[in-house]
Amino acid sequence: MNSASWGRHVDGFPDIAMRRGRYVDRHERIVQEREESWNASELEFLAPRLVRNGSRAVLCFYDRHAHRLPHSLWLPAPYAYFPRQMALRYCTHAVYHAPFALHDGRLAYRNPGFDRQFGMPELARVACHRGYGTQLLFTVGGEDTDNTNWETFAKDLKETLVSLGYDGVNLHWSTPGGRCGRGGDAHALTDLEHFVEVASQVAPLAKLADFLVVQAHSLYGPSSPWPRCASPYEAVQVPSVRALLDSLAARLFHGHWGKLCITHSLAAVTYRLADYGTAVVVASVGDPSEGDGASVGPGEPQSITGTPGKAAYFEVCGWTRQRSRSRECSMLRSGSTVAALEGPEALRHKLARMALDGHGRLCLAGWTLTG
């Protein structure tokens, strides 16, 4: 490279940086304009469903794993999520997903540079600035092989909550992945039962956490152990599966469990530590599936309202990094931030397909920002 071409190469950088800055500014303005586009009629439609009165909970996930570096110097990645893009007015709780892992019974950052210096403080700053009273939780990851000292774990957790100014924790416990057609029904339920029981040992967290979430990955979808890789609704029609789930709910929650919701690619058991009878669902959390995974199938998603001591089920659209072929499903993809950027019609349609259980709690929590 001669001196002349080197000079042109160097001189071009300020122009590239300026163009990238203008693009990012324009993208942020578009996000803000779309969020502000909700008019009175749309808010009136949402209000009865997303009431902040303590009887309903909407958990909105900021997935740090969904944050990607730009593909070029000025074009953002298709899945670049930032806390300021979350429509927090609809979230009773915002969960910062996957910043921690366990190491020798203590908390450890997965990515201290990003999580501690930017991600978690930025979410707290944005939530405070918006002023909607959104409670902040962060995720702690674990594996079935972890031999955790729960007292040390609870102490570290309390100190971390205080230092970050967060309100609670989302305990994310992974299960061994199943394989389609292998292991049968009992194997999957045994995994789920085991990890809920593990979570129940975290008694010292009861005064610290609003929600405790146990997620059993790979119960559905391409690696499902259910017969024929069935969708959740199809699976629970099998008498043996239904009996196992009802028995599981009755044993774990002494007959007071009113809601056990399962989505394909992920099973999430969520309950308040102080009240096992209160539950919500977390959807679209976990590792991205290959392709669309198990599909909803023909017709509308089915729901079954739970009764004390019985399990209830709600099926949602598949989630994937790929753009969904169905408009009502396209709001459920990896990332799990709540942002109504597909327009009011799409969100209205999605909300219309949701089911509220008998206690008035929203049986879905987690939409994604469109790519």
**What are 172-205's pLDDT values in tens digits?**
655 444 433 444 444 555 555 555 555 555 545 5
Please compute the mean of the pLDDT values over residues 309-336 and round it to a whole number: 29
Please compute the mean of the pLDDT values over residues 30-48 and round it to a whole number: 45
Write down the pTM of the prediction. Answer: 0.51
Measured CA to CA in angstroms, residue 247 lies from 40, 211, 214, 306, 327 at distances of 45, 23, 18, 13, 37
Please compute the mean of the pLDDT values over residues 140-164 and round it to a whole number: 72
For the chain, percent of residues with pLDDT exceeding 70 = 15
- 8 Å CB contact between 147 and 116: no
The DSSP H or E segment spanning 109 is strand 106-109
- Exposure b/e, 18-33, CB count within 10 A at least 16 = b: eebeebeeeeeeebee
Residue 56, in any domain of the structure: yes
pLDDT of residue 132: 80
Mean pLDDT, the chain, whole residue set: 48
**Residue 97 is encoded by which pair of tokens?**
């997903």
pLDDT of residue 348: 37
Nearest CA to 99 out of 152, 145, 163, 150 is that of 163
pLDDT bin (cut points 50, 70, 90) of residue 7 is very low
Q: Is the pLDDT of residue 157 over 70?
A: yes
pLDDT bin (cut points 50, 70, 90) of residue 269 is very low
Residue 370, in any domain of the structure: no
Distance (Å, rounded) from C-alpha 189 to C-alpha 222?
17
Residue 218, in any domain of the structure: yes
109 or 84: which leads in pLDDT? 109
Number of domains the chain contains = 1
Residue 193, in any domain of the structure: yes
**Residue 259 is encoded by which pair of tokens?**
């809601």
For the chain, percent of residues with pLDDT exceeding 90 = 0
132 or 315: which leads in pLDDT? 132
Residue 29, in any domain of the structure: no
Distance (Å, rounded) from C-alpha 320 to C-alpha 294?
11
Number of helical H runs and strand E runs in the chain: 9, 10
pLDDT of residue 205: 53
Q: What domain range includes position 270?
A: 37-353
330 or 109: which leads in pLDDT? 109
344-352 long-range contacts (CB < 8 A, ≥24 apart) are 344/37, 344/38, 344/42, 348/42, 348/45, 351/45, 351/46, 351/49
Q: Is the pLDDT of residue 54 over 70?
A: no
224 or 240: which leads in pLDDT? 240
pLDDT of residue 28: 63
Residue given tokens 């239904």 in the structure block: 242
Q: How wide is the angle at C-alpha 165 spanned by C-alphas 48 and 66, nearest 5°?
A: 70
3-state secondary structure at position 246: helix
1 or 38: which leads in pLDDT? 1
Distance (Å, rounded) from C-alpha 195 to C-alpha 193?
6
* Residue-wise pLDDT tens digits, 287-304: 222 222 222 222 222 222
Residue 19, in any domain of the structure: no
pLDDT bin (cut points 50, 70, 90) of residue 58 is low
pLDDT of residue 17: 63
Q: Is the pLDDT of residue 95 over 70?
A: yes
Q: Is the pLDDT of residue 321 over 70?
A: no
Residue 198, in any domain of the structure: yes
What is the DSSP code (8-state) at residue 356?
A: B
- 8 Å CB contact between 214 and 196: yes
Q: Is the pLDDT of residue 351 over 70?
A: no
Please compute the mean of the pLDDT values over residues 115-131 and round it to a whole number: 83
Residues whose CB is less than 8 angstroms from the CB of residue 83 and which lie 6 or more positions away in sequence, other chains included: 62, 94, 119, 122, 123, 125, 126, 127
Residue 272, in any domain of the structure: yes
Distance (Å, rounded) from C-alpha 267 to C-alpha 174?
10
What is the DSSP code (8-state) at residue 265?
A: T
288 or 68: which leads in pLDDT? 68
148 burial type by CB count under 10 A (0-12 exposed, 13-18 middle, 19+ buried): middle
How long is the chain?
371
